C-alpha cells in the first residue's frame, strides 16, 4: 500500500517570508498533484507533475518533482495571507491517494 | 457550468439515523468519486462510478454505506444506522475518463451525535 508523508504537518509564518513543504511517497508516483483546501471547502488542484525532475511555477509557487518520482516540494515565495490553507499532495491514479497535508497559516 | 455541487452542505444527525447526500457532477464528466475526510487528514477514497456503473469500492465502505448513480448523472451516498465514527466531511469529485484532473465539490460535513 502506497503511503504519502507530508512535512511539516503545520507551519505558521509571517507575511513576506518564504517556505517549503514536502511530499514523500513510499513508492513511485503515477503522477503527483498538489491541491490547496480552505476550511469548509473541497480541495482545488494547483498543479500536476508527471516527469522526474520537472519544475512548474504558478505565480509565487514553485513545484519540484524529484528525479526518482518519489518526492516533491512546494516552495512559496513572499507568502501572503491568501496562501493560508491545507496543502495536500496526491498520487493521481484513477483514485487519488492522499497525504495528510500541511496546514499553512500566513500571519499578516 | 457551475462546477460540482453537493447537498446538503452540513448535516447533524443522531446516532442510528439514516442520512443521504447528493452530488451533482460537472455535466459532461462521466466519472464520479466519493471521498471521506476527517479532521487533520487527507481525503480517503470510498468509491467511484463510470457513468452509472460502480467500478470500485474501498474496504472503508462498510455495509452501512451505499452509493448510486442511477442515470449516470447525479449520485447519492446513503449511510444507514449512522455511528459517531461516521462524522466527517464527505467529498464528491468528477472527471472525464482519460483525464487525470478531478474537480471537487464543497463537501457535506456530517456530525453524528
How distant is the Cα of A78 from the closest Cα of chain B, in angstroms? 26
**Partner residues linked to B12 by β-bridges:** B111
pLDDT, position A94: 66
Q: Which of A42, A45, A103 sits opposite B105 (nearest CB)?
A: A42
Residue with cell 462524522: B87
The answer to whether B95 and B89 are in contact (CB under 8 A) is no
pLDDT exceeds cutoff 80 at B98: no
pLDDT exceeds cutoff 90 at A93: no
The answer to whether B97 and B30 are in contact (CB under 8 A) is yes
Residues A57-78: pLDDT tens digits?
999 999 999 999 999 999 999 9
State the average pLDDT for chain B: 93
A31: its cell numbers: 503522477
Instruction: Report the C-alpha gap between A1 and A26 in whole angstroms.
Output: 8
Put the strands of the sheet holding A71-76 in their side by side order: A4-7, A19-25, A71-76, A61-65, A55-58
| A chain contacts of residue B56, beta-carbon cutoff 8 Å | 95
Q: Which of B4, B40, B109 sits opposite A100 (nearest CB)?
A: B40
Q: Side-chain half-sphere of B22: how many Cα atoms within 13 Å?
A: 7
Q: Which of B48, B101, B107 sits opposite A48 (nearest CB)?
A: B101
pLDDT, position A97: 87
Mutate: best of A7, A42, A44, A104, partner B, most B CBs <10 A: A42
The answer to whether A57 and A44 are in contact (CB under 8 A) is no
CB atoms within 10 A of CB A79: 22
pLDDT, position B101: 83
For residue A66, what are the CA distances in angstroms to A15, A56, A70, B29, B101? Answer: 28, 12, 6, 31, 21
Residue of B nearest to A39 (CA): B106
A28: its cell numbers: 513511485
Residues A6-38: pLDDT tens digits?
999 999 999 999 999 999 999 998 889 999 999
pLDDT, position A34: 96
Q: A95 vs B48: CB contact, 8 Å cut-off? A: yes
**What's the maximum distance between 2 C-alpha atoms anywhere in chain A?**
40
Q: B4 vs A42: CB contact, 8 Å cut-off? A: yes
Amino acid at each position: 500500500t502506497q503511503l504519502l508523508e507530508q512535512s511539516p504537518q503545520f507551519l505558521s509564518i509571517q507575511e513576506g517570508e518564504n517556505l517549503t513543504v514536502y511530499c514523500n511517497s513510499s513508492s513511485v508516483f503515477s503522477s503527483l498533484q498538489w491541491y490547496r483546501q480552505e476550511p469548509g471547502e473541497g480541495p482545488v488542484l494547483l498543479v500536476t507533475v508527471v516527469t522526474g525532475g520537472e519544475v512548474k511555477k504558478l505565480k509565487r509557487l514553485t513545484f519540484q518533482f524529484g528525479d526518482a518520482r518519489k518526492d516533491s516540494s512546494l516552495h512559496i515565495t513572499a507568502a501572503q495571507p491568501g496562501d493560508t490553507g491545507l496543502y495536500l499532495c496526491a498520487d493521481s491514479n484513477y483514485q487519488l491517494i492522499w497525504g495528510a497535508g500541511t496546514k499553512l497559516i500566513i500571519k499578516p | 457550468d457551475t462546477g460540482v455541487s453537493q447537498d446538503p452542505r452540513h448535516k447533524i444527525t443522531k446516532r442510528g439515523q439514516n442520512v443521504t447526500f447528493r452530488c451533482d457532477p460537472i455535466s459532461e464528466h462521466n466519472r464520479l468519486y466519493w471521498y471521506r475526510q476527517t479532521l487533520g487528514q487527507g481525503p480517503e477514497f470510498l468509491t467511484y462510478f463510470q457513468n452509472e456503473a460502480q467500478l470500485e469500492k474501498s474496504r472503508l465502505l462498510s455495509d452501512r454505506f451505499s452509493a448510486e448513480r442511477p442515470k449516470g448523472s447525479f449520485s447519492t451516498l446513503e449511510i444507514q444506522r449512522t455511528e459517531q465514527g461516521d462524522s466527517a466531511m464527505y467529498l464528491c469529485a468528477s472527471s472525464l475518463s482519460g483525464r487525470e484532473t478531478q474537480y471537487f465539490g464543497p463537501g457535506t460535513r456530517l456530525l453524528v451525535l
